[in-house]
Structure 1
């Protein structure tokens, strides 16, 4: 997890942002570059005016920010519904790991974005409000606060947010960059399984979907993996995920097709092993034996962590063959 591992919610929104602005001018390289040469592939201004707004109660910036982006993703939910899962009274705030986990329990996927102002603006331009973690205090006295970026205005050099009790807060880009940098520019979007972030890395998208699969229905997981593989068709982890999700959904033939492609392309012990199981499910015993033998061979040569599993699968296939 990037950024602070232990985080406090906002103690209050009384920090003087005017004072921070003076410091910001010394540490705003991204802002200077962005204003000097705005990205050509997004508009100079964007605002997601239809984004819900939940004025936060004391210390409840985490649940309020989450409800904002989850409602934007189509989930009917309120901050009160999320308080128990993300708010820690003893720490007076919400941990990043809990903020990422909560949406996945409701059928939507939280995904980290790339830590940059340009990535943030690409998400907003794509229609995705972004949860960000800011430090509104000082290095020696941090005041952590979750807000939701819903817009930007490059001509005026501002970021637009749902923040605290302010429905539309305009913050100078210089100040925003300074306060955001303290969290390692940590931010994420929440989207339905059939949508992708505009500015997340392949690794972050893969990680988000793998975690989502553990809590999702098989059909939701299939949708999530299929959507991501349209952008990254050669990703082994997501190909394995799609194969497993199809198996769980009762589509062994679809799983076998996906896993066969992954096994051939990557010569992966895991893919060969899972392909053997798919063939076995389909009653294709000879094909299952061939795939299981490939899995063992590959594990012996280059992927020893899969050897025990592959040997177990091969034994199961041989027992099935001997009993036919």
Structure 2
């Protein structure tokens, strides 16, 4: 299974789908362009023109796309450095799990977005390119391709991509939505610890951060702190942050976080159990 085609093949395939699937529903694009109630408002046009461009050689769209978003997040890395980490010759492509794991090895939190066009656009508004996956083929005969969204133009109904050998590929929003939907709307932003996404749930952020911390515990504290400030009611983030502090020997601060959590949710027994253990170690009286 190939993950990338030549630029000409991709262009022909996109044209084919634009012609043959014009009647296929594109609900997100329709809602956005029609200004349906409930659709988040975004700026009419964004283009992150300074985003680095690495022309993608055959089958190696993964390393090039990942190098793009890593570089824009502050990690200077060339696609060639990533090939051995994400590119699988037997599959002639890169798996999503390897792309996420490699991002963490370079000190970035890989956070999947929620699958909405507006999620992607709002990250772009913050100056953050978005790694996306497309299926340029069919569900039954996929042609997987990684690209980097660097902008959009609502007036012209286009998504702007760093894709293949094209520095700024202007893709009709309807075509992008269909190819993106066939890849289950997979999109990812890379976060430096301490920075936060525009749109995310506490659960999504916690899941990404917990995976990051497994290999980056020493640099994860700013991310836990920022997350808990954003979602102070999150039991998961409070427990994760207090556990990190406990492992670092900062028992008093860990106890403070648990105490605040119990003020919001007095019946949350895991926090009560942990707090009791910390107080015993601090030789403090245990509250009933």
Q: Same fold (TM over 0.5)?
A: yes
For residues 244-263 of structure 1, the aligned pairs below 5 Å read: 244-263=243-262
Determine if contact 1:113/1:201 at 8 Å carries over to the other structure. Answer: no
| Structure 1 stretches of 4+ moved >4 Å | none
Deviations 1:179-231 (A, max 9, x none): 1110111111001111111122332111111111111133x221111111222
More helix by share: 1
In 2, Cα distance between the equivalents of 1:68 and 1:161?
Answer: 11
User: How far 1:86 sits from its partner (Å)?
Assistant: 1.5
1:21 matched residue in structure 2: 18
User: How far 1:141 sits from its partner (Å)?
Assistant: 1.9
Q: What's the C-alpha RMSD, in Å, of the aligned pairs?
A: 2.0
TM-score (norm 1): 0.81
1:63 matched residue in structure 2: 63
Deviations 1:273-320 (A, max 9, x none): 332343344x32533xx5xxx8xxxxxxxxxxxxxxxxxxxxxxxxxx
User: How far 1:126 sits from its partner (Å)?
Assistant: 1.6
Determine if contact 2:202/2:237 at 8 Å carries over to the other structure. Answer: no
Q: Which has the higher contact order (CA 8 A, sep 6+)?
A: 2
Return closer, same or farther for 1:148/1:168 CA change in 2, 3 Å cut-off.
same
Whether 2:33 is the aligned partner of 1:35: answer yes
State how many pairs are aligned: 281
Determine if contact 1:52/1:72 at 8 Å carries over to the other structure. Answer: yes
Return closer, same or farther for 1:261/1:134 CA change in 2, 3 Å cut-off.
same
Corresponding residue SS for 1:286: coil
Return closer, same or farther for 1:40/1:221 CA change in 2, 3 Å cut-off.
closer
Corresponding residue SS for 1:10: coil
Pair member with larger Rg: 1
Determine if contact 1:52/1:68 at 8 Å carries over to the other structure. Answer: yes
In 1, Cα distance between the equivalents of 2:274 and 2:73?
Answer: 33
1:309 matched residue in structure 2: none
Structure 1 runs not aligned, ≥5 long: 1-6, 295-324
TM-score (norm 2): 0.90
Deviations 1:17-36 (A, max 9, x none): 11111214422122122111
